[in-house]
Chain A
Amino acid sequence: MSVMASEKSWIDRWKEHASAFDRVTSVTMTLTSPQPASWIATEAAVAPNTARDHLQRLTELGVVMPTADDGTRHYQPDPLYERLRDVRELVRERTDAELVDAAVTLKDDIAGWAATYDAASPEALRASAAAGDVSAEEAHERIRVASDWELARHQLGLIQEALEQYDTWSADPSSLTA
């Protein structure tokens, strides 16, 4: 083992380089289904009470949204926070010309996938991967392209929203405080 990598476990290394609050935030922001505080605490390597305190703070900040599943409070990323954060970042870090170019690139990619696979949507392409006459390799390729298509569609939506709001928000960045 190299000197820098040493004998530490990945959990120790993560704890060394990210605070408890950062780890709780990070675990929560990668969730694809809501989870209770106990689950988040385990994965973030913090005590359950610490996780609950940080999740309460993140909820108050509007970063995290609590839900009640089976009578137990679960947490997930707040979609409105994500949207505002990403659109704000586009407005602040990109010119409107760069955003237009990015939108054109994404639209071209989407049109290319639709033509190549004769599919109207990424959902249709994904469903076609399950067809009986599709090989395993081809199925994986279709899932990969469907995922790229879904991502491009999401990114295009963010860019279009940023362009619609560009003059307002770039002129007055303080109008977004998320």
Chain B
Amino acid sequence: MSGGAGRDRHRVLRQLRAELSRHPAVRSVTGGPPTTYRALRARVAPEWFGRAAEVASLRVTWTADPSPGPAAGDRPSDVWRRTPIEAYYALHYSEPAGLDCGIHCEPNPHVDGLLHYQVRASPDDPYTYTPLTLEARSASGLLWEMMDVLADRLDEAG
């Protein structure tokens, strides 16, 4: 699409901000358009995820153009096999000084492939990484799908 990767990233982040604002777990969204934002930040209701924490936050990033991507040169091949959307993105949940976890689709030396879930019980613990599969083909749908996956994983974490 004409206009370049900057325009695409700006537009997708703006729309993801709107979708976050609609989500029942989200209390407020900041860091959105129109000026110098590069990520979205949201205050969320921990109880919606079955968590006892008083406050929690989300951070959402989106890189619309991942080229040259992880398959270039001598880097390990990844065929985007677990997500149909060819972008780097992340949705990360954090409780202050406590658990943090998230869904990430981006290169990570600890992970085979791109799309994974990572979690740690506290900032002093190492992350545990688990492969994921997502089905949404639009960024908007993906946001809602990731929020449900996050709820499932947090429920399992107890």
Chain A: residues with CB nearer than 8 A to chain B? 1-5, 9-11, 13-14, 17-18, 22-23, 26-27, 29-34, 39, 42-45, 76-77, 79, 82, 86, 89-90, 93-94, 98-99, 102, 105-106, 122, 126-127, 129-132, 134, 136-137, 139-140, 143-144, 147-148, 150-155, 158-159
Nearest CB in chain A: distance from B106 CB, A: 7
Contact status of A14 and B49, CB under 8 A, knowing A5-B148, A30-B15:
no
Instruction: List, in ascending order, chain A residues with CB within 8 A of B11's CB.
Output: 29-30, 77, 82
Given A143-B66, A147-B63, answer yes or no on A32-B1 (Cβ-Cβ < 8 Å). Answer: yes
CB distance from B66 to the nearest CB of A (A): 6
Main secondary structure on A side of the interface with B: helix
B1-42 CB contacts (< 8 Å) to partner A: 1-12, 14-16, 18-19, 22-25, 33-36, 38
Q: Which A residue sits closest to B12, measured CB to CB? A: A30
Interface string of B81-102 (1 = CB under 8 A from A): 0000001100000000000000
Nearest B residue (CB) for A94: B35
Task: List A contacts of B132 (CB < 8 A).
Answer: none
B72 touches A139 (CB 8 A): yes
**Complex CA distance for A77 and B50, rounded to whole angstroms:** 38
B109 — which chain A residues lie within 8 A by C-beta?
A: 136-137
A136 to B138, CA, bound (A): 27
- Count class of interface residues, chain B: 35 or more
Cα-based distance from A134 to B6 in the complex (angstroms): 24
Q: How far is the CB of A74 from chain B (nearest CB, A)?
A: 11
Contact A32 B72 (CB under 8 A): no
Q: What is the distance, in angstroms, from A47's C-beta to the closest C-beta of chain B?
A: 16
Q: Tell me the bound Cα distance from A43 to B139 in angstroms.
A: 10
State whether B76 touches A154 (Cβ < 8 A).
no
Is B126 interfacial (CB-CB < 8 Å)?
Answer: no
Asked whether A155 lies within 8 Å of B148 as measured between CB atoms, the reply is: no
- In whole Å, how far is B51's beta carbon from the nearest beta carbon of chain A? 8
Tell yes or no: B147 within 8 A of A by CB.
yes
| Interface contact A129-B68, CB-CB below 8 Å | yes
Interchain CB contact under 8 A, A13 and B6: no
Contact call B76/A27, Cβ cutoff below 8 A: no
> Is B112 an interface residue when CB atoms closer than 8 A count as contact?
no
Bound complex: CA A159 to CA B35 (Å): 7
B1 touches A155 (CB 8 A): no
| B123 interface contact, C-beta 8 A | no
A-B contacts, 6 of them at CB < 8 A, read: A17-B22, A17-B24, A39-B137, A43-B137, A126-B67, A136-B75
CB distance B35 to A13 under 8 Å? no
Contact across chains for A30 and B140 when beta carbons are under 8 A apart: yes
With A5-B151, A17-B22, A136-B107 known as contacts, the answer to whether A151 contacts B6 (CB < 8 A) is yes
B155 touches A154 (CB 8 A): no
B131 within 8 A of A: no
Q: Which residue on chain A has the smallest CB distance to residue B139?
A: A30
In the assembled complex, which residues on chain B have CB atoms less than 8 Å from the CB atom of A148? 38
- Least CB distance from A69 to B in Å reads 12
Query: In the complex, which of the residues B3, B45, B48, B138 contacts A44, with contact meaning CB atoms closer than 8 Å?
Result: B138
